[in-house]
Amino acid sequence: MKVLEPSVLVLVLALLIDLAVGDPTWLVHPTQIMGAGINVLEKFLRRPGASRGYLLAAGAAVAMIIVASTWFITRGLLAAAGRLNYWAEVLLAGWLLATTIAPRGLAAAAAGINRSLAAGDLPGARRQVGYIVGRDTAGLSESEVVRATVETVAENTSDGVIAPLFYFFLGGVPLAMAYRAVNTLDSMLGYKNERYLYFGRAAARLDDAANYLPARLTGIALCAAAGLLGYGRRAWRVMLRDARRHPSPNSGFPEAAAAGALGVQLGGLNYYQGRPSRRPLIGEDRQPLRREHIGQAVCLMAAATLLISLAGGLILGFKGRWY
């Protein structure tokens, strides 16, 4: 075995890049390119008033084209960089992998909300949480702002950190980028409204399938992280009991694990464009939600990321997969 496999080097580099700079606003992000491609394809393929069958097929075609082209373009770019020299390929692979994960951005968003609450600026906290959740936030109480933040940190520990790393461990940077394409498709098309009910169905179903294993792995990682703090047994119990109460087939696992670890209750009444949506309660109401739980949720996310990275790095080190 080599002293350090290239894939392990790429993993370490990606984590360091995200920790150091995150996603700079001045740099074009790959998801922006994916989004532009989705918009172009939607413009040409989605026909208002078309039959259900056409819209389903057209939406599936968009999903297939975007995901496949992302994989092939990523693979081609890395191959081209490799023809220049080894380090060009490693650096490009590290940067591309860093664009698929967002622990720094997630932690920074949560910290900003926490700071506003600590300063007594509830309107500012509502405004900031509105950037990271889809629910209405204008009338949220402080505890509801905390709940929204904790739920989002837990859910995005899967979507924004563990899932792309899982696919990197499975199939390298091209597969991690393909996963990010799936996630982008769902965020743009996966809505159950008149416009996307059929056209976006393939994107939504593909996202559910792609997140099936990573969401459960994230729940396990969060329980393991809670174990380091002495709350692992409680996190396991709540996750196994409550995860399937969530309306999403995947989000319940990280949310239930986080709720169990923190000893709080998540779920309840949300509003979306003024319409009420009551979610099943998850967790145990051992204590009221407080702003300190935001920082604790971020610590759980960081610990879970570290545990998964160490486990995946060890596997890659022995198995030896190039980027």
> Which of these ranges, 155-159, 214-218, 231-235, has the smallest mean pLDDT?
231-235
Residues 309 and 159 sit within 8 Å (Cβ to Cβ): no
Q: Give the pLDDT score at 3.
A: 46
pLDDT (tens digit, 9 = 90+) per residue, 71-113? 999 999 999 999 999 999 999 999 999 999 999 999 999 999 9
Domain parsing of the chain, residue ranges: 6-319
Instruction: Calculate mean pLDDT across residues 146-165.
Output: 97
Question: Per-residue pLDDT for 158 more than 70?
Answer: yes
For residue 315, the model assigns a pLDDT of 86
Average pLDDT, the chain: 94
Distances (CA, A) of 26 to 8, 21, 23, 29, 293: 28, 11, 9, 9, 32
Sign of CA pseudo-dihedral 15, 18, 21, 24: positive
Residue spans of alpha helices (H) in 130-231? 142-157, 163-189, 201-228
Backbone dihedral region for residue 283 (phi beyond 0: left; psi -120 to 50: alpha; all else: beta): left
The reported pTM is 0.94
Summarize pLDDT for 14-35 with one digit per residue, the tens: 999 999 998 888 889 999 999 9
Q: Is the model's pLDDT at 321 over the cut of 70?
A: no
Residue 229 binned pLDDT confidence (cut-offs 50, 70, 90): confident
Cα–Cα dist 18/104, whole Å:
6
CB 285 within 8 A of CB 263: no
DSSP state of 159: I
Of the candidates 191, 153, 131, the residue with the CA atom closest to the CA atom of residue 291: 153
Instruction: Output the pLDDT for position 1.
Output: 38
pLDDT at 2: 46
Rounded to an integer, what distance in angstroms lies between the CA atom of residue 219 and that of residue 201? 26
